[in-house]
Amino acid sequence: MSAKYFHLTVKEIIDETPDTKTFSFWHPIHQAISYKAGQFLTLIPEIEGKKVRRSYSMSSSPNKDASLAVTIKRVPGGLVSNYLCDNLKVGDAIETMEPMGHFVIEPNPTKERVIVLFGGGSGITPLMSIAKSVLPVETKTKVYLVYGSRNEENIIFKKQLDELEAQYSNRFKVLHVLSQPSYTWIGYKTRINQASAVTFLKQDFAIDIAKAEYYLCGPEGMMQHVEAAIKIFGVTDNQIHKEHFFSAHDEKAMEDEDEAGSLKEQTITIQYEGNDYTVVVKPHETILDAALRDDIDLPYSCQAGMCTACMGKCIAGKVSMDEEDGLTDNEIKQGYILTCVAHPTSSGVVIEID
């Protein structure tokens, strides 16, 4: 099934921090876009004559906010985050794909639960949507947020979180954790790691760790530490939801320049829309990166192995994936791959894309 595309007009732009802006959009005329708290939009700006795609989680709540909003933090040297923060103006229209993603919550008024949100930096965006959506609907549910930022001025949504905490004072608690605060900061000065995560849950929130539901979104290291900490207390995989903003490939490549050492340049064939394309995939590239470099207009969205928009089938040769969570075991057995996280590991690879 092919994805739907929309053109959204910018309604308002809010400066959240010195490097982060919220862009809210009007719904298209005659057609409200429906989405779930925690999902993302894929924005498709045209930069220097080329369309590029990046995913941004919605910071708005589907059941509370009249318009859709995304919140974008500049990545130093990053193409799209800086382009949008510098150029997108109120009244401009931008192409987007329909909302996608499985990092979602569906508020249910009959539920009474404990939900713990762990966020770092721009990872607050889907968590903000989740908190704003759950609190008014699930009137017996308690929500706890641990939010890691560098310093006071980098805390995204500080005022909105304070207001939400005041409004739901007996059911919503926020703990700001700063890694490099000013000397006047009286809260925690630490990173979110395995040991500090346990302290927050046991001492600050005093919750039964084993029984809560967890939503994690932030740097990979932070999410790994929190997951390891809560699993010691018996939390199971189905209680843990994670959103990755960057693919494992990006993060590995950022950390370890030798990561591509075991991969070799391979020439592959991509069968798409009745054409056979020959593409050279370099060791640092994914199959999708290589195809886009050659201007082959393959389908994609999140570029992080989660949305399945880039799914193809490997019908010859061998392919490895940095991240397999987006596919079922059965799909993997049948040879399906996600081109945004896939690398050819043998000669003669042929990928078929519907």
Ligand X SMILES: Cc1cc2nc3c(=O)[nH]c(=O)nc-3n(C[C@H](O)[C@H](O)[C@H](O)COP(=O)(O)OP(=O)(O)OC[C@H]3O[C@@H](n4cnc5c(N)ncnc54)[C@H](O)[C@@H]3O)c2cc1C
Residues lying near ligand X in the complex (CB under 6 A) are found at: 40, 54-57, 70-73, 75, 77-82, 101, 122, 125, 243, 245-246, 250, 254, 302, 304
β-pairing verdict for 114-120 and 213-217:
parallel
Instruction: Report what 79 binds from ligand FES, ligand X, none; CB cut-off 5-8 Å by kind.
Output: ligand X
| Burial bucket for residue 352 (CB in 10 Å: 0-12, 13-18, 19+) | middle
Pairwise CA distance, residues 72 & 215, whole Å = 20
Q: How far is the CB of 100 from ligand FES (least distance, A)?
A: 8
Instruction: Report what 96 binds from ligand X, ligand FES, none; CB cut-off 5-8 Å by kind.
Output: none
Q: How far is the CB of 308 from ligand FES (least distance, A)?
A: 5
Nearest 5 degrees, angle CA 320-CA 325-CA 328? Answer: 90
Q: How far is the CB of 269 from ligand FES (least distance, A)?
A: 19
Site for ligand FES in 323-352 (CB under 6 A): 326, 338, 340
Pairwise CA distance, residues 248 & 305, whole Å = 9
Q: Which two tokens stand for residue 201?
A: 């849950």
Q: Which two tokens stand for residue 148?
A: 């890691």
Under the criterion CB under 6 A, does residue 319 sit at the interface with ligand FES?
no
Nearer to ligand FES, 201 or 306 (CB): 306
Find residue 240's DSSP bridge partners: 214
Nearer to ligand X, 71 or 141 (CB): 71
Q: How far is the CB of 112 from ligand FES (least distance, A)?
A: 34
| Burial bucket for residue 208 (CB in 10 Å: 0-12, 13-18, 19+) | exposed
* Count of residues in contact with ligand FES, rule CB under 6 A: 13
Site for ligand FES in 277-316 (CB under 6 A): 300-303, 305-310
Query: Cβ(320)–Cβ(343) under 8 Å?
Result: yes
> What residue ranges bind ligand FES (CB under 6 A)?
300-303, 305-310, 326, 338, 340
